[in-house]
A and B are shown apart, each in its own frame.
Chain A
Amino acid sequence: MLSSRLIVALLAIALVACQPPAASETEPALRQVTLVLGFRPDVQFAPFYVAQQEGFYADAGLEVEIEHHQAPDVQRLVADGQAEFGVADATDVMIARTAGIPIRYVSTLYQSFPVALIGDTADVPAEPSGLAGRSIGTPGRFGSSWHALLALLDAGGLTEDDVTIREYPTFNQVDGLTNGDVELVTGFRNNEPLRLEARGMEVGLLTVDEVAPLPGPGMIVGDELLEADPELVRAFAQATAAAQAAVIDDTDLGFAAAEVAVPTIGEEPEVARAVLEATVELWAGEGFADGAIDLALWESGYETMERLGFIDGSVSLDEMVAPSVLGDAARSADSTS
């Protein structure tokens, strides 16, 4: 029979054994930061999921919480310091900054502008001037779709008065296209065309890149954080760029991470995979996907946005972008040739 002392000793040993292992005192604590994305969980955010799941952020000393909000909230949350990082359209950054929202674009995620005019091949003109008289569906008079549409019309010597615009604020313009209510719609090159092809349409595109280049979506931070802790911003941008490069090299890695983070991905896995592959092409652009900022593209986009009346030129380009975060290795003639 076990003595009561022995039982107490065994219980004590068991209790000690059940204690969780103490964190190593030499292990540095991770800095908690929040990233806000202006869309629901989606495979297009694979670099962030990979960075989170595969330790890219942890290696940079970061513990990143990803939050999904509505697109226009991203700028406000980041500017107000409620989130450290966000992803926003470059054209929206120009407008928000001009409106007095203190944010900066610090790294590029999409080297190609993702919005295009989409329709049946027979309905898509070869040149923007061919848009005259067409009916076009778009979510509304805001956002990158609207900016791209007006830039295309402008490139064709047209204005919104030369076309019939129908608005779909709930982003269901594709239904309007398949329903025959409009001939063309604005949409993301890595999404809507794939879904339309799945419905049997032979899809044609008219993109802005060649005729009216605009900078694509990228990472934003608040002025305050950028000034107070540029190293944190650099660490985050570098880790994200590294994860993005990893996904470009191996889309299976990105898809596997998205499977963990996107609850609905199992509903149409083939479409999701196709979306990821199309997205990778937009990230890479002309083979340049290290997050650096193409200042020449920004200058041209700034001029276009000013000419279209979206910005008034009162805030300079220097106050909108911070190319120094990832080094000044903005796209050069050497890197693209």
Chain B
Amino acid sequence: MRRLGAGIVSLAAFLVAWKLVTVIGGYPEYILPAPEVVAERALRAIGSGVLWEHTAVTLLEIILGFAVGAGAAILTGIALGKSVLIERVLSPYIVAAQAVPILALAPLLDIWFGGGLLARVVICALIVFFPIAIATMVGIRAADPLLAEMLRSLGADAAQRTRLLEVPSALPVIFGGLRVGVTLAVIGAVVAEWAGASSGLGVLINIANQGLFDTPLMFVALATLAIIGLAFYGLVVMVERRLVVQ
């Protein structure tokens, strides 16, 4: 209850500060709309169905991109953590891929994967991949060597040691990566839409900004993305609390 109260106070303070900036700065609506203007625009966008139409597309991209990216990252992270050889072979490529600005690569990925949902999921998954893979690798390596030795002496094979010791002990670190990854999935979906899409919140931002000159609508799309990011982050934390022994 106290946490909820703190959240409400924080949100109220943010809205007041935002309103003050618009009043003191004297910004016109097309530069920085006031919170009540954005709220009114949000109601209209919800009423017309426009907001949901675009939000549903982005949600699907985030869920699929995160699932694919996180799944691949955890498997790769386990392999990297368990095998020095695999790490030596794959690490340079993984790090180099992370260093390449995905914004530059996204238009090409869109063409390579034929546009559509598949291309957007791939772009989103690529953005999600790195922090989760590295967190998993670090977590796997941090398993207690004495416990590993004990399992070995009890005859546990590599797969059993991974399942019974390394993955469970790595969970707190893996979830650290998942927390970062899920917020990156939101960015990934928007980047993917900016590379080529007909709908989605990234497209709505472009239409509002470049097509309609509707700055309040652009803020509605941005606020929706922020809410989605917070919701998915909260979901990951909730799952973490259930799975990880504190």
Contacts and interface: CB of A to CB of B under 8 A. Distances in A.
Contacts of B203: 140-141, 167, 169
B61 to A, nearest CB: 15
Contacts, number: 73
Contacts of B213: 72, 75-76, 92, 95-96, 99, 101
A179 B111 CA distance: 9
A71 interface: yes
B92 interface: no
Contacts of A143: 210-211
B188 interface: no
A170 B107 CA distance: 7
Given A101-B30, A140-B203, A181-B115, A146 B197 contact: no
A9 B107 CA distance: 70
Nearest to B116: A166
A176 interface: yes
Interface residues of B, number: 24
A20 interface: no
A166 B211 contact: no
A166 B115 contact: yes
Contact of A72 (B111, B196, B197, B210): B210
Interface string A56-77: 0000000000000001100110
A142 interface: yes
A154 interface: no
Contacts of A99: 30, 212-214
A142 B208 CA distance: 9
A294 interface: no
Interface in A134-185: 140-143, 146, 165-170, 172, 175-176, 179, 181
B212 A95 contact: yes
B210 A142 contact: yes
A120 interface: no
A100 interface: yes
Contacts of A168: 107, 196
A306 interface: no
A143 B206 CA distance: 10
A279 B207 CA distance: 28
Contacts of A71: 210
B211 A172 contact: no
B175 interface: no
A99 B210 CA distance: 12
A79 B107 contact: no
A100 B31 CA distance: 11
Interface string A171-202: 01001100101000000000000000000000
B210 A100 contact: no
Contacts of A96: 213
B30 A79 contact: yes
B185 interface: no
Contacts of A146: 211
Contacts of A175: 107, 111
Contacts of B214: 99
Contact of A166 (B31, B194, B196): B196
A146 B211 CA distance: 9
B25 to A, nearest CB: 11
Interface in A181-234: 181
A82 B87 CA distance: 52
A80 B196 CA distance: 31
A158 B207 CA distance: 22
Nearest to A169: B194
B220 to A, nearest CB: 15
Contacts of A140: 203, 206-207, 210-211
B37 to A, nearest CB: 11
Contacts of B206: 140, 142, 169
Interface in B169-200: 193-198
Nearest to A95: B213
A179 B214 CA distance: 34
A172 B30 CA distance: 29
Contacts of A179: 111
Contacts of B194: 169-170
Interface core residue of B31, B197, B210, B214 (most chain A CB under 10 Å):
B210
Contacts of A170: 106-107, 194-196
24 contacts: A72-B209, A76-B30, A76-B31, A79-B28, A80-B28, A92-B213, A95-B213, A99-B214, A100-B30, A101-B213, A140-B207, A141-B203, A142-B206, A142-B207, A142-B210, A142-B212, A143-B211, A167-B197, A169-B195, A170-B194, A172-B111, A175-B107, A176-B111, A179-B111
Interface of B: 28-31, 106-107, 111, 114-115, 193-198, 203, 206-207, 209-214
Given A140-B206, A141-B198, A170-B107, 11 more contacts: A75-B213, A100-B29, A100-B30, A140-B207, A142-B210, A165-B198, A166-B196, A167-B203, A169-B196, A169-B197, A170-B195
